Amino acid sequence: MNLHLEPIPKIEKDLVKNIQKKLDNKTKPVGALGRIEEIAMQVALIQESLNPKLNRVCCVTIAADHDIVEEGVSCAPAEITWQQMENFSRGGGAIGLFAKTNNVDLVLVDAGINHDIDPKCNIIDAKVRKGTRNFRHEQAMTPEEFEIAFNRGRKIVKELNNKGCNTVCFGEMGIGNSTPASALLSVYTKTEPSKCVGAGGGLKPEGIEIKKQVIEDAIKLHGYPEDPLEVLRRYGGLEIAMLTGGMYEAAINRMLIIVDGYITSSAALAAYEIDNNIKDYFILSHASSEGGHKYMVEHLNLKPILNLDLRLGEGTGAVLAYPIIKTAVNMLTEMTSFEEAEVFNSSDLTRL
């Protein structure tokens, strides 16, 4: 493969003391806002500023179909992928509503839908091919397909950044895509497939067993490549590869990355394996109820903001978490200090 990946900027800690001093001088007991203060600190460090701002927040939801559904790993018809994406483009579905409710710009992308999308729909045509290949029998993407998908993800995010976006939520849509996500989890973390698979869109126990067997067969065929990009190419999906490229570009441009649920976390896992520095740009929006997600969370050592038993995808969890992140940033930049409020700072007693 001919991907030329520059190193992701390491988050420096030079401003930690000054940010902490600003947080501690807010009209509250030191540390009383808990995780909110941690989020504010993280965003300030990413932006290298005591006054960070979340500008033109976007949710990039990328869709593709998967030939792996031929193996019986999904109980939902593949047509739902394109039907839902067109629904989202009209403001429908959960992500259409949630994005509107929270003033997040919804950016819809076709990475590999097995359908000709209505050109009247506001969906970016980044289609690589109609559906990711069946990785039980062949590699999910050819080297060329993978590079195109990864680089198109980068290009989309770069263009958003050029238009002023510095905060991006990532989501996905794709019937059958919990299977490649589970395969990536299993291979990257060396976790047995039985622990990685779950119900996805509603599989019964016998369907979950099929999914496990599919992944075991794929690992016998493709092995455990040392190159994390090669793992993603062999086992991933077109939308997962594009998400990974988008995340990588976001970090290169020091953008805050809000990660959605199970499928999007598999892209975050891939990006982390490519360059560990990307983790400091991630905020994990929620703990998915999909079984294998907890292993992704443990491997990435991230703390989800929400725990609402979500397993929908689309970017819904990321958009739901955004108001909390926005509040954290506003707390750092707008909440009154003890001096401004003319309130006695009890923490001063410890310095007497």
Residues tagged active-site: 314
CB 108 within 8 A of CB 123: yes
| Dihedral sign for Cα atoms in the order 275, 305, 297, 308 | negative
Question: SS3 letters for 88-148?
Answer: HHCCCHHHHHHHHHCCCEEEEEEEECCCCCCCCCCEEECCCCCCECCCCCCCCCCHHHHHH
- The CA–CA distances, whole Å, from 254 to 6, 44, 104, 167, 248 equal 13, 11, 19, 9, 10
| Tokens representing residue 104 in the block | 């997040």
| Dihedral sign for Cα atoms in the order 322, 297, 264, 194 | negative
CB 93 within 8 A of CB 77: no
CB 233 within 8 A of CB 1: yes
- The CA–CA distances, whole Å, from 44 to 59, 73, 143 equal 21, 42, 38
CB 149 within 8 A of CB 270: no
Nearest Cα neighbor of 155 from 82, 46, 249, 261 is: 249
